[in-house]
A and B are shown apart, each in its own frame.
Chain A
Amino acid sequence: MHLPYKLTAQPARFCTQYEPHDPAVPEALYTVRCPAPDLSGFPLPLPSRKADYTCFARVGNVHWYGATTGLTRYEPDALRKDQIIQFFAAERDLQDNCVLALLPDETGLWVRTETGVTRIEMRPVGAEEKALMLLHESQRIVDRWGMYSQKHLSVPRDLDSKLPYGHSDNDGGFTSGFAMGELFHYAVCKREKGAEHPDTIEAKNAAVRACEASLLLMHIHGRGNGFVARTYMCAEEPMPEDGVYFRLQGDKAVCLDTPATRERGSFLKMYGTDIKEGANAGCDMRWAGMEIDACAPIPPRLMHLITDHGHEREGIFYKADTSSDEITHHFLMMLVAHETIGMDDPELDALLIDAAKATLGHIIDHGYELTDATGEATTWAKWSERYFVTELGYVDACLNAAEVLAYHKILMHISGERGKWQESYDYLISRGYADLATKHFDRMQQSSLAEGTHPFEDIMYGDHMLAVLSFWALCTLETDPVLLEKYKNGFRSWRTSLAREYDPGYDLPYAVATGDEIDMDRVAEWLYRMNVSRLAAGVSTMKRHDTPVHVLPGGEKEITWLLPNDERFISKYDRNPFTYKDVDSGGLVCVESCYIYTFAYWMGRYYGFFEE
């Protein structure tokens, strides 16, 4: 592995959509004669059946083949293997897949399809340039009081039509992920351009804002006990129905009546964690209307995220039942923030340390669980041995053991404290948590054997980033050689399913943590082939003639090669990129956060994996 890998500007897709008779569309597009291509003996697989190709245009040594099932670009002399054959399809690139005519000009290609016209230009874009393009799009569209997950549009494809509200179940986790990318961005700018450079200042502002937004989730609830909210909404926002919410009313917070809170009791009961003690013991309907103390203050430094937009604390409703996903992202954000910006912003650093201590203190004091208003553990934030012996916990144990160990190492690193944190860490080690952290592959195999499924069918793809973050922290902070080797092996046990994704967001932390080789060519391809917008316009992974489908024993279907980013669906770090499906997560009315790209790119720059 020769580092740093030299990234260069690569052609990126710019597709502009037009109504069929838009004045900008050249008349010639309606009269041009496009012969069907002769593809007999074509040397490479084609995305459409040969019989489906109906028209052909050539610009220099670039061939465009239009089909009834999409558009193929063929550049036999392309420098990169992945760029020789490229596929353009609806809805991402085209309005529909039935290509009727092609008209090249000096800078691009006009494509007429059954329902519209598209202009395609392939413009060289640098990897850093793309990071900034995506960042600016996210700041303009996705930002919701400093939180970054995704934002919906009222008009398909129209980025100016963003809705003013809209949250994600994992706002906290995604925002911390975004923050890490911008923290690395800041650190790189500062190192390369100096602290006072405008780019550095801009990066710092973006990073700080995201850090503050994440930190605010640790205080917004006013519980003062180290709890962390998933997300929050202001008073005028419509209340979603997909979770457990508390509305702040003076010094109290009241649980809102939602289908989720109504079902909450039975859900808990189903997993054997029904309340056994206390005022709400045995009560299935206990959540809605529950009133709890919420008098802990929000640090003044963080209040501006609410007040800047004319809102106030009163009436805000926050989402509870927080999962380990959020906690893990937050702890890693704290680590990265401490390393990259802590010295420059002591006030923020102190807030990070306080928040880490409060959160981990809560977890330790509650038997290694995050407890909600009832005093019982939230559904998915349990790192306790009593959870690990349950059916669900048995499979989760390997990841969760690593997570909670990572929280300890991070806290001790950023605070410089040992004491109770070290005692707790040692206790967990004595209970076998480090060994447990190495067993992921074993248990995944065992589970799939028991269920008669393929091991990959049992993967929660959202767990991948949690594992990456946890082991990355453990491997970089642990100094005991025996424990370090265990953590490396733990990371390697996840590598069994991570490797095939060639995702630099996973591969770069893996390389940092273990020192093992990764495929930098594939890392580069992943960056090069990322779209310049996170508009979640779908493309189908089904029906491609060049893409086999693999039906797994449990019934899941996968494609058998990793389509480049610009030819598959847009998502965060939480989906199986081999999924065989026809629809997208958000579609034409959704813009995703840029962090999947910016985290990977800036981390790579920070650690010297690549340069431009």
Chain B
Amino acid sequence: MTNQIHFIGNAHLDPIWLWRWQEGCGEVLQTFRAAIDRLKEFDDFVFTCSSAAYYDWVEQIDPELFSEIREYIKMGRWVPVGGWWVQPDCNMPAGESFARHALYSQLYYYKKFGRICKTGYNVDSFGHCGNLPQLLTLGGMRTYVMMRPGMHENPDIPDKLFWWDGVDGSRVLTYRISDSYAHSGTEDLDRTLDTLKEMLPEKQHDLMLFGGVGNHGGGPTRGDLGHLVRRAESEPETPLVFSSPDAFFDRICRGYLDVPAYKGDLQHHASGCYSATSLVKQLNRRAENRLACAELWDTVSAAVCGADASTEAIAEGWKDVCFNQFHDVLCGCSIMEAYEDVRAAIGHAVTIADRVENAAQLRIVSRIHTWLDGISDPVTLLRHHCRKEGFPRPVVVFNPHAFSVRCPVRTNHPSSAVTDAAGHAVTFQNVRSSRSNDSHLDTLFFADVPAMGYALYWLSWMEDSAVTPDCFRAVEKDYGTDVRAGQDYLENDVMRVEFDRASGTIRSLVRKADGYDYAAGNRLAVPTVIDDHETDTWAHNVFRFDKIKAEMQCESMELAEYGPARAVMRIKHRFGESHLTQDFILGSMQETLRVKCKAIWQEPFTMLKTAFPLTGTEEINTYEIPGAFIKRPANGEEEPALRWADLTLTCADGVRRGLALMTDSKYSYDCQGTTLRASLLRNVICADHYSSRPAADFNYTDEGLQRFEYGILLHAGEAETSDVVREAAVFNNRPNAVPAGYRKGTLPAQKSFLTVTEPNILVTAFKKCEDGSGDYVLRAYESAGRNTGRVGFVCDLADAGFWADFRAHEVKTFRINREGYVTETDFLEGIVE
């Protein structure tokens, strides 16, 4: 079998980048029309195009063009690839986002064209996380085309064809484009063709040549195609064929194949992209969290209350999120104006989620028995006067996690007492509210909520007369709980944190389980300003951000709150015209020290990191990646990660210990030796692409107000054996409190709708199947990196209880029918035949 060169006619389309989406949409329409013209002009030509969102646009705006495309797809001359909504960033979206990319896109392709995409296709995305092989495979794609990082950025990744092994053992046959996805013009095409031709004997397999004007669309020109046809005719010895990635891989797999294997991440290309433009990162994380929660409560509500599930609305929200995960968008390197669109689009998704969740939770709440005989009757008559009557008000706390949670929740009124449904007193504290009105106080109490369920609490009103000046001061005394605080320390039963007043950093951080001080003579949580003026928005060719410009100066430190439920140390820092306020919050029995931050950032060409220099040897970095975690070398390179990053090392006493940083909206970390740092913001010029930066009043990616949180978790042993995954999950998705009325309901005061028997199996989706059958879909993943057998799932709601074995890092999707029988399926929910 003679090896061939497959010419892949394509047009790389950035729907947003140096333009807004409206222009991108027009560019898609023009490119698709041009592609149809080329298909008519050249009988053998095949056009390849990814991204379901583009087809969706064309279908809505130009049905006639869409019909023509459909015909060419039937003929096999137009080949959709990359069964995702767009070509997203492949490091920052959550695992569940990738599931949604595949779900909505592949089902779209299946419905419109009768087929799904076989080949994953992210030729421009800047890096590819180590769990992508599994996420691709579960979306129906076992072959993959990528390009970045380039050979000059990471020569360890095999050139051209290789087996890519994911962290879970999944494998995709991958083609790495080593130069460009957009060859065009006779000289460029000839040069590339000659290079590939020379390469054929060495590679011993077919190769692909990607041609067509790209980025702002375009595709192969008439001149390009004519030139290739003429060259093929005049050089029979040049084995050039018009083809598609699908055809390429089909042919590859039917012959002798001996290519290398590569395991893990494919990194790095644009290391600055994971911290630039905090806005889009924060919106993305929030939308992912909100949609997942809304969907599960909507599913529960539909079953409990007989309501219709909001499947279509949720899908609409997810599509907005998926669209804005496009690599140039989520990576923060598009023009500033585009982010106004992003704010609106993801805001739309969040609004959908909030509305759906609110309706669902209120429906459930309305069925919970909150009636108090002898009390509720008169109150009900005086419905809005329960406060005046002095009766407790019911509040229902919802826990979206499939494990029970004890954590603080907050309501917008002060209370004199909080009890659970059984009448037991609950630890609470009236804390300063965000408003400057009436009592100025909110109730913060610790709720114990069963797995994916709710719990009812009773909050007794606090009279205005009880609000005294002490309510607003951190009075140092024994409150009868484990919380202790002073002017320079916070303490609970888990840890003791001491602050250095001069620098506003942590000087001692003791985990009480073994008395070890993680600071060990160092200062932790050091706000560090990095000089970032030599790079562009992507940080092309820069992989380490290690030029320290300054440490922010401490301006003040005060014990802002202290009570039975929590204590708060407020520390303010300054650098130039920029300010950072950090509230270090330690709650009763809480394992995570929360740090609530407000930054007002003005410094151009800077990056802000918080640094945690530890002491020890044999350091190992662990990072959360989509649907899994990965170990990376502690070499100082900037690393993309999701909700948490961890540094574990061997301490002087020989014991392995670690410190994990978790965030609610950040995606970038580094670790040089034994110093772990989270990148909190990056303020460089927007959409600055290898620019010479002519003088101008530039817009910057992170200038202005920033609000975010990070958390600090101490643990013994390795990261994967710690609570970091669950803590980070709760840190990002906290149980919420819903005020209730007095109702005679059928639901008990506390209920779990879904439980999982093993702590390392986390549920990421509980929804109704997209086919309208009424079946439930449940997705979960193994989070500790260990094979786990006999995992039990119990869901009375669906009359289902079943076992499953998970291999390390495995993502599983189950479909539960109306009789509670279960099928294991994939992201496509068993809809695609």
Q: Which residue numbers of A lie inside 8 Å of B, CB to CB? A: 40-46, 49-51, 81-82, 394, 439, 441-442, 445-447, 449-450, 496, 499-500, 502, 519, 522, 545-551, 560-562
Contact = CB atoms under 8 A, between A and B. Distances in A.
Contacts of A547: 802-803, 822
Nearest to B757: A44
A40 B794 CA distance: 11
Contact of A449 (B142, B261, B757): B142
Given A43-B794, A45-B793, A449-B173, A519 B803 contact: no
Nearest to A436: B258
Nearest to B795: A45
Interface in B794-833: 794, 796, 799-805, 807, 812, 814, 819-825, 830
A500 B805 contact: yes
Contacts of B823: 548-551
Contacts of A560: 803-805, 812, 824
B794 A545 contact: no
Nearest to A522: B789
Q: Which 7 residue pairs across A and B have the least CB separation, nearest first?
A: A45-B801, A548-B822, A550-B824, A450-B253, A561-B805, A561-B803, A449-B253
Given A42-B801, A519-B787, A546-B802, A442 B163 contact: yes
Contacts of B819: 49
19 contacts: A42-B801, A43-B794, A44-B792, A45-B801, A45-B802, A45-B803, A439-B258, A446-B257, A500-B805, A500-B807, A502-B789, A519-B787, A548-B802, A548-B824, A549-B823, A550-B825, A551-B825, A561-B789, A562-B805
Contact of B787 (A441, A450, A499, A549): A499
B807 A450 contact: no
B403 interface: no
A49 B799 contact: yes
Contact of B794 (A45, A445, A500, A502): A45
A44 B173 CA distance: 40
Contacts of B259: 442
Interface residues of B, number: 43
B594 interface: no
A589 to B, nearest CB: 31
Contacts of A449: 142-143, 173, 249, 253
Contacts of A49: 799, 819-820
Contact of B801 (A445, A496, A545, A549): A545
A562 B824 contact: no
Interface in B132-191: 142-143, 163, 169, 171, 173
Contacts of B249: 449
Contacts of A522: 789
A545 B802 contact: yes
Contacts of B173: 445-446, 449
Contact of A442 (B258, B790, B807): B258
Contacts, number: 95
A272 B249 CA distance: 27
Contact of A446 (B253, B820, B824): B253
Interface in B511-546: none
A562 B789 contact: yes
Nearest to A435: B258
B143 A50 contact: no
A445 B805 contact: no
A547 B757 CA distance: 15
Contacts of B805: 500, 560-562
A548 B258 contact: no
A545 B820 contact: yes
A562 B791 CA distance: 11
A50 B259 CA distance: 52
A423 B101 CA distance: 57
B746 to A, nearest CB: 13
A543 B793 CA distance: 17
A494 to B, nearest CB: 13
Prevailing SS type, chain B contact patch: strand
Contacts of B794: 42-45
Taking each of A41, A447, A548, which has the highest tally of chain B beta carbons within 10 Å of its own beta carbon? A548
Contacts of A82: 790
Contacts of B812: 560
B254 interface: yes
Contacts of A551: 823, 825, 830
Interface string B110-142: 000000000000000000000000000000001
A441 B257 CA distance: 12
A134 to B, nearest CB: 24
A546 B824 CA distance: 12
A556 to B, nearest CB: 13
Contact of B792 (A45, A50, A394, A562): A45
A439 B799 CA distance: 45
Contacts of B261: 442
Nearest to A81: B790
B399 interface: no
Nearest to B137: A454
Contacts of A445: 163, 171, 173
B508 to A, nearest CB: 36
A560 B822 CA distance: 10
B503 interface: no
Given A449-B143, A547-B803, 14 more contacts: A42-B801, A43-B755, A45-B802, A82-B790, A442-B261, A445-B173, A450-B250, A549-B824, A550-B823, A551-B823, A551-B830, A560-B803, A561-B789, A561-B791
Contacts of B825: 550-551
A82 B173 CA distance: 38
Given A45-B802, A560-B812, A450 B254 contact: yes
A46 B796 CA distance: 12
Contact of B796 (A41, A442, A561): A41
Contacts of B821: 545
A51 B822 CA distance: 16
Contacts of A441: 171
Contact of B257 (A41, A46, A442, A499): A442
Nearest to B250: A450
Contacts of B163: 442, 445
B130 to A, nearest CB: 17
A490 B379 CA distance: 75
A560 B791 CA distance: 10
Contacts of A450: 250, 253-254
Contacts of B755: 43
Taking each of A44, A45, A502, A560, which has the highest tally of chain B beta carbons within 10 Å of its own beta carbon? A45
Contacts of B802: 45, 545-548
Nearest to B254: A450
Contacts of B799: 49-51
A81 B823 CA distance: 24
A521 to B, nearest CB: 9
Contacts of A545: 800-802, 820-821
Nearest to A46: B801
A480 B367 CA distance: 72
A546 B789 contact: no
Contact of A561 (B250, B253, B790): B790
Interface in B495-512: none
A361 to B, nearest CB: 31
A551 B142 CA distance: 17
B804 A496 contact: no
Contacts of B258: 439, 442
Contacts of B804: 548, 560-561
A551 B824 CA distance: 7
A46 B822 CA distance: 13
A289 B54 CA distance: 70
A239 to B, nearest CB: 42
A562 to B, nearest CB: 6
A442 B252 CA distance: 13
A567 to B, nearest CB: 11
A548 B815 CA distance: 9
Contacts of A50: 799
B257 A548 contact: no
